[in-house]
Chains A and B, each alone.
Chain A
Amino acid sequence: AQKITQTQPGMFVQEKEAVTLDCTYDTSDPSYGLFWYKQPSSGEMIFLIYQGSYDQQNATEGRYSLNFQKARKSANLVISASQLGDSAMYFCAMRDRYSGAGSYQLTFGKGTKLSVIP
């Protein structure tokens, strides 16, 4: 079973609008962490935001916020006031004890390609 699911292969958003990128996860570890990374066309991976499973507040970093719904096992990334430079692939990743990649290692989703339209 997929541990991290990103159901939107591609999304379009108008410049200056907000957009939500979906991420659902599956784990039995009560202590886990969720990360979002951005990969522009240049190829590098850029860390955006982190949410711990015990964090009481939803994480925010500038225009990025994480809509964390623990009971639904979702950790959606919200980008406010989209800019042309936000066009990129976005990856959700989870760190948990039972990762198939090794204890406490990251499991990545397949990504969502966001295109911002002028």
Chain B
Amino acid sequence: NAGVTQTPKFRVLKTGQSMTLLCAQDMNHEYMYWYRQDPGMGLRLIHYSVGEGTTAKGEVPDGYNVSRLKKQNFLLGLESAAPSQTSVYFCASSPSPFYEQYFGPGTRLTVT
């Protein structure tokens, strides 16, 4: 079991560029989440999904889009990157909100 994997691990973008972060889980979890972590802050939820084909906004959704076309994958897109989106991005999954979340290793994104 690989658990939750994230691709890529590091990325540097210029302002205005776009990119997609891929999250994959092999635990057959219904729920998947994207968080960002900034220095001195805890994790903040960007978007989440309660099942294949569904997505919902979290606390800080602006500037991001997501898709969940397959149950095991959850994609996070940045259409026009901004320096304020420099952060570490974590993907997580869980069977339901009433269980612990399993996290991926994180993606460190720098926007210059």
Tell yes or no: B74 within 8 A of A by CB.
Answer: no
Interface Cβ pair total, 8 Å cutoff:
57
How many of chain A's residues touch chain B, expressed as a range?
20 to 34
Listed in ascending order, the chain B residues whose CB lies under 8 Å from chain A are: 33, 40-45, 48, 56-59, 88, 90, 92, 97-98, 100-103, 105-106
Residue pair B45, A110 in contact (C-beta under 8 Å)? no
A-B contact pairs, 28 of them (CB 8 A): A4-B42, A33-B98, A43-B105, A43-B106, A44-B106, A45-B43, A45-B90, A45-B103, A47-B100, A47-B102, A50-B100, A93-B42, A93-B43, A95-B97, A101-B45, A101-B58, A102-B45, A102-B48, A102-B59, A105-B33, A105-B45, A105-B97, A106-B101, A108-B42, A108-B44, A109-B42, A110-B40, A110-B41
Listed in ascending order, the chain A residues whose CB lies under 8 Å from chain B are: 4, 33, 35, 37, 43-47, 50, 91, 93, 95, 100-102, 104-111
- Which of A33, A106, A109, A110 has the most C-beta atoms of chain B within 10 angstroms of its own C-beta? A106
